[in-house]
A and B are shown apart, each in its own frame.
Chain A
């Protein structure tokens, strides 16, 4: 019999990845927003995601809701352990989300809502990166509950993962804008993409070097035979993606830089898998410890099998409807 727990681990991982890259470029645009000129540049940058941000954010709900459904124990331990981060992220997303509507409804206070858009995006991105770091550095568990204090999540390592995520989202956002904008705004986005790419690589490198020294287990997976044979593919492929990213930016290509940024994130996700598998909370809880019973997994799997292809289909359609460069006229 196929182990549904493994299937569910991949479904959750897919939801998290989909969220990270799709809301990643939304949040990245928010982070970079102040560098765009007030007026048409900002309007276009926001219009490039206005029709799709809500769908992108929904993957976060699937990640959270899916975790509750498929791995309730993990959900019940991770959220209290990263409590202030989760609350900060949620409040950041409140400001970011309403700014999409409010800035158009209140020209007199548009500068404030633009600031809220950026601050909310920045806080949400930082909190998400730090949550990942808190998870990787290990969570103290006793019985079926979190047993640490409520500042355990704040360490140099989590600050590093937080900054890495901010830079990574900025890379996604800027390359998305390279694709969707033209003229001066596109040139500006390309310049930002160069800088974001360098920052992302520096921080990704730092996190990648730091992580194996957090736990002997991580070290063994990355630097001993035979797992190094598989693990080493991740940095190799990343190097190739990075090459094409910079080449695409230098040659003025539209879509390639964004697609290469996606590839870098996908490889980051694979690297995460190398470190964590089969734990959902490294060092203490495996996916099998945390898994919901077979009946719950099966009931949901039927739903996923039917709805996920439809979701991907109409999401793709929505992106297709709003394809191409963002024009001057705005959407109606």
Chain B
């Protein structure tokens, strides 16, 4: 094998991981929030007895079922990706990250999967209270899953608590708690989970807004839009604050990442400017056409206008992350964050004026922002994952030294297969979800019907197909 081949195989393996993880994360980003939303809806139904909440629960449960299935099948791919394409990493880091991932399976995946069947299909078999417990378990499972896998990711970003073994393996040190609660973990956890809640809120809000534009008297659409806008108004500012905390933590532990985010090629001994926009040029080590606010970066990151800030000129060239990608991904994430805040504030004004349900432009804006959470989440991950390059275990193991001994054609062929299958299968799945969202939520919403056999029954248990077609006919 030539050097050229190996470089190709590495690049293809990196593209494959980036592709499969990005696609995968779209689904948990939605299902973490949606599971909690469903638990809230069912809880409100049990508390108030209002059928409206049960209708909304059933409406979103159908969407959850599809989302969850896609999350599961794309997630299993991830649990094998470490071994197929990153076997050196698996061998070296297995003793530290393996147990955390095993805990994810034991405490989260089984919990979700074990109660999912009852959540989707068991309402009539176990009764409302046990069913509510199943919903809570699924929601808890999604959160616990995020806990463990983000602990793994955070350890790779800010590795502590390990020792280096004679065989080249990373081995657990004295305390597992040092490893689990590594320095970046708490910040990454709350920032990511909050992002999932916001992402879901904007999807729910967009669906509500869509149906309000068609029929502003639809009580179901009103309720979901109102709930989503409360989330936007209350959680978006919290998320901006959490993001800032996370950034400060990154500055402390991974300064090169923040330099790339800020586009600081040069050090600024007397206060660094905040570059709003520009085109980073890694060759020339400068940001072209930069629009900047003098000393504002020092103010944000150090709370002092004149605080000196080191730039990438203090980092060896072969330890610098790719600046352009990180710089832009960061701006996309932050821009969307402030856009979400804007919608949240707008909804407060609308609510105060009593126009929440009939302000067409607010509804259109909410629809436009519907998918924004996904974009922000992916942009955020690109910021943090590209920003920690060239390291896979920060400062200790280079990405280039972690890959499997595979030939480029093998990795290329599997990458192609993943791309084709993912776009086809998850594209179709997304279309099914959009089709479900297109239908207005209504009184007597049906559940996740499983069959179309047998005689036509009363509304609650009427089989799916016939009514679906009827309803589509009504809408046209």
Binding site for B on A (CB under 8 A): 39-40, 43-44, 46-47, 50-52, 54-55, 57-58, 60-62, 64-66, 68-70, 72-73, 75-80, 83-84, 86-87, 90-91, 93-95, 97-98, 100-102, 104-107, 144-147, 150, 292-293, 295-296, 299-300, 303-304, 307-308, 311, 314-315, 318, 321-322, 328-332
Contact = CB atoms under 8 A, between A and B. Distances in A.
Nearest to B20: A90
B71 to A, nearest CB: 10
A332 B463 CA distance: 10
A303 B102 contact: yes
Contacts of B121: 50-51, 322, 331-332
Contacts of B73: 93-94, 97-98
A73 B169 CA distance: 10
Given A55-B116, A75-B83, A295 B172 contact: yes
Contact of B165 (A70, A93, A293): A293
A146 B410 CA distance: 14
B414 A58 contact: no
Contact of A150 (B87, B124, B406): B406
Nearest to B173: A295
Contacts of A47: 450-451
A30 to B, nearest CB: 14
Interface string B405-432: 1110010011001100100010011001
A233 B184 CA distance: 55
B450 A43 contact: yes
B96 interface: yes
Given A57-B76, A80-B406, A65 B105 contact: yes
Contacts of A100: 69
A72 B451 contact: no
Interface string B237-265: 00000000000000000000000000000
Given A47-B450, A299-B172, A328-B454, A321 B118 contact: yes
A301 B74 CA distance: 28
B369 to A, nearest CB: 26
A101 B425 CA distance: 12
12 contacts: A72-B169, A75-B91, A84-B414, A87-B414, A94-B77, A296-B96, A311-B110, A311-B114, A314-B137, A322-B122, A330-B451, A331-B122
B122 A76 contact: no
B66 interface: yes
B98 interface: yes
Contact of A69 (B69, B102, B414, B436): B102
B72 interface: yes
A54 B90 contact: no
A296 B87 contact: no
B404 interface: yes
Contact of A300 (B66, B72, B102, B460): B102
A213 B346 CA distance: 76
Interface string B376-411: 000000000000000000000000000011110010
Contacts of B114: 55, 311, 314-315, 318
A91 B69 contact: no
Contact of B118 (A51, A57, A77, A104): A51
A322 B117 CA distance: 9
A69 B101 contact: yes
Nearest to B432: A105
Contacts of B94: 68-69, 72-73, 75-76, 292
B143 to A, nearest CB: 16
A296 B179 CA distance: 12
A332 B83 CA distance: 38
A299 B83 contact: no
A144 B118 CA distance: 44
B102 A79 contact: no
B219 interface: no
Interface string B445-470: 00111111110010011011100000
Interface in B53-94: 65-66, 68-70, 72-77, 79-80, 82-84, 87-88, 90-91, 93-94
A249 to B, nearest CB: 27
Given A101-B429, A331-B448, 14 more contacts: A44-B453, A50-B450, A51-B121, A68-B90, A68-B97, A70-B102, A72-B93, A73-B91, A76-B94, A87-B84, A97-B72, A295-B171, A296-B98, A318-B117
A113 B418 CA distance: 18
Nearest to B100: A69
Contacts of B276: none
A80 B405 contact: yes
Contacts of B69: 54, 97-98, 100-101
Contacts of A104: 448-450, 464
